[in-house]
Amino acid sequence: MNAAVTAGRVLIHRLLCMREILIILSACLLTACAPGANQTELYLGTATLGGAYYPLGQGISNLVTQHAEGFTMVPIVTRGAVENPRLVSAGDVEIGLTNADLAYFGYQGQAPYDSRLSILAAGALHPSILHLIIRADASFDSMSDLRGRRVALGPAGGTTVAFARLLLDAYGMSLDDIVPSFLSYSDGFSQLSDGNVDAAFALAGVPAAAVLQTRATQDIRFLTIEPQVFAAIISDNPYYYTVTIPADVYDMEIESTALAVDNVLVVGAEQSADTVFSIVSAVYGHLDELQKVNAIALQINPDQSLKLPIPLHPGAARYFEQL
């Protein structure tokens, strides 16, 4: 056998050996990166990447992965608060973020849902505040003065629009009595700053980025809602309550009163109590870790979990009732 042939065979042998080594290394890396065989992967429905839900969902998922033995959690981009209860009920995700009113509507089978959803509460998160904002130099003050005016209501089909319908109804009006614009919060408040709309609404945590953006260039204030209107709305809709917004939050002249609704975690009613207890313990038992990386988590009050409008899952109840 000549030297060239021998050298060729040696090279092929070495290449084959290297290929085997690469295959083994790749398998080892995949094994190291993948969840352990005894790990159960859970999906958390959040919202689009630009909103508050996704980073909050990332933080919650990290807590579960780190502190719930036997579980990993992955935040999933969804269409948000309206869709998440449907996804949880259908079993497409194990847990989801939504508003307490939407959780109630889903649990009861009321619009925007066609039938009762198989969901229960896993815990309360931060409140979302209904920002009803006008320019400080506006010639009107009250919600009752909006008739015929241009109002940015947030995205079409969003929770802010539902809130606006409720308030307009309390004043004997409907969407037909205003000139609505269905814009993102950012665009809606930019339009307010430019004078292209007379008021801009946003259901968001405090401080809301879109409101701060407008306040940077424009003096603003809250629309006035009379106390008796607040009382009537809360009486008929127990998932809402009022909060006081200190003047310094948005550098306004006076504090304001606004409607609020809790954000909540919902889980499938069929989830095992032990699984839900593990999730809830990992999140609320290590809330301080979440608060270090997500400022809005500082507004989470675990005690609110015992005041939600839908029942707690037995696994969540086990956790909160021992606090």
Write out the two tokens for 148.
Answer: 């015929």
Fold that domain 128-261 belongs to in CATH: D-Maltodextrin-Binding Protein; domain 2 (3.40.190)
- 115-146: b (≥16 Cβ within 10 Å) or e: eebbbbbbbbbbbbbbbbbbbeebeeeebbbb
Q: Which pLDDT belongs to residue 255?
A: 94
Q: Of 101, 109, 153, which Cα lies nearest the Cα of 127? A: 101
Dist CA 126 CA 148 (whole Å): 34
- The residues spanned by each domain of the chain are 40-125+263-320, 128-261
In whole angstroms, give the CA distance from residue 265 to residue 103.
9
HEC sequence for 34-70:
CCCCCCEEEEEECCCCCCCHHHHHHHHHHHHHHHCCC
Amino acid at 99: N
pLDDT 10s digit of each residue in the chain, 323 long?
444 444 444 343 443 344 433 333 333 333 344 455 588 999 999 998 877 899 999 999 999 999 999 999 999 999 899 999 999 999 999 999 999 999 999 999 998 899 999 999 999 999 999 999 999 999 999 999 999 999 999 988 777 888 899 999 999 999 999 999 998 899 999 999 999 999 999 998 888 889 999 999 999 999 999 999 999 999 999 899 999 999 999 999 999 999 999 999 999 999 999 999 999 999 999 999 999 999 999 999 999 999 999 999 999 999 999 88
Q: How far apart are CA 59 and CA 79, in angstroms?
A: 19
User: In angstroms, what CA-CA distances link 105 with 112, 169, 238, 261?
Assistant: 7, 18, 12, 13
Distance from the first to the final alpha carbon of the chain:
83
Output the pLDDT for position 196: 96
Quick one: CATH architecture of 40-125+263-320? 3-Layer(aba) Sandwich (3.40)
By residue count, the chain amounts to 323
Whether 40-125+263-320 and 128-261 share one fold: the answer is yes
Please tell me the pTM assigned to this model: 0.79
